[in-house]
Homo-oligomer: A and B are copies of this chain.
């Protein structure tokens, strides 16, 4: 275990056992460096990670304080659907439902500013059962290749992620009651709960794509795990 890891763990302990309670000030870098017998840069490195995790707050001259925890943060990872299905041990299936130019039923907010659009609907299956309904708009002004691409074998999800660059993503998670389309394709009763992920992808100022991914609520969940203290090794 490296010096900065030991120090980070030690500091984590002191925070979680309230040796350094929330709101209190830490000794400054040079003092800690002396205490731990390392260079200032090594202490900084340990502290930076704790700042990233939101456990410490630092300000020039004012020093370092233990942050008041008033939120839970974690990293949300949403893999490509195919991986999500295969990683669960199930067999992945895919079928294109429709692909036509010009549609904008999803484009309620006018994100695309009149650009030519491609509207794609497709279904992702897990062991033959409907897993996700993907309803997507692609901006042909940004991604002209999409118009001639055949999406009957590869899903737009995967194709876009691999081929098309983007610089900003906005993800929205919500629950809904299944509408006619969702209930038909996902083979669930109307008005039964659906977990929806909406994602808006931009390249600089331009919208690249807008997608709604609907999952039957039964059996679907998103899980995130955060560990602050490093896994205690058996020595």
Contact = CB atoms under 8 A, between A and B. Distances in A.
Interface of A: 12, 15-18, 22, 52, 68-80, 83, 161-162, 165-177, 191-195, 199, 203-204, 215, 217, 220-229
Given A18-B165, A174-B222, A204-B229, 12 more contacts: A70-B162, A71-B78, A71-B79, A74-B169, A75-B75, A75-B76, A168-B226, A172-B222, A173-B222, A174-B220, A191-B191, A191-B192
Contact of A72 (B22, B71, B77, B215): B77
A70 B84 CA distance: 10
Given A83-B71, A175-B175, A217-B177, A224 B76 contact: yes
**Secondary structure of the A contact surface, majority rule:** strand
A174 B221 contact: yes
B68 A72 contact: no
A171 B221 CA distance: 10
Contact of A229 (B15, B168, B195): B168
A221 B225 CA distance: 20
Contacts of A191: 191-192
A185 to B, nearest CB: 17
Contacts of A220: 174-175
Given A75-B74, A80-B70, A166-B16, A172 B229 contact: no
A115 to B, nearest CB: 19
B76 A169 contact: no
23 contacts: A12-B167, A16-B165, A16-B166, A69-B162, A71-B78, A71-B79, A71-B80, A73-B77, A74-B76, A74-B169, A167-B229, A168-B226, A168-B229, A169-B225, A170-B224, A171-B223, A171-B224, A171-B225, A172-B222, A173-B222, A191-B191, A193-B194, A193-B217
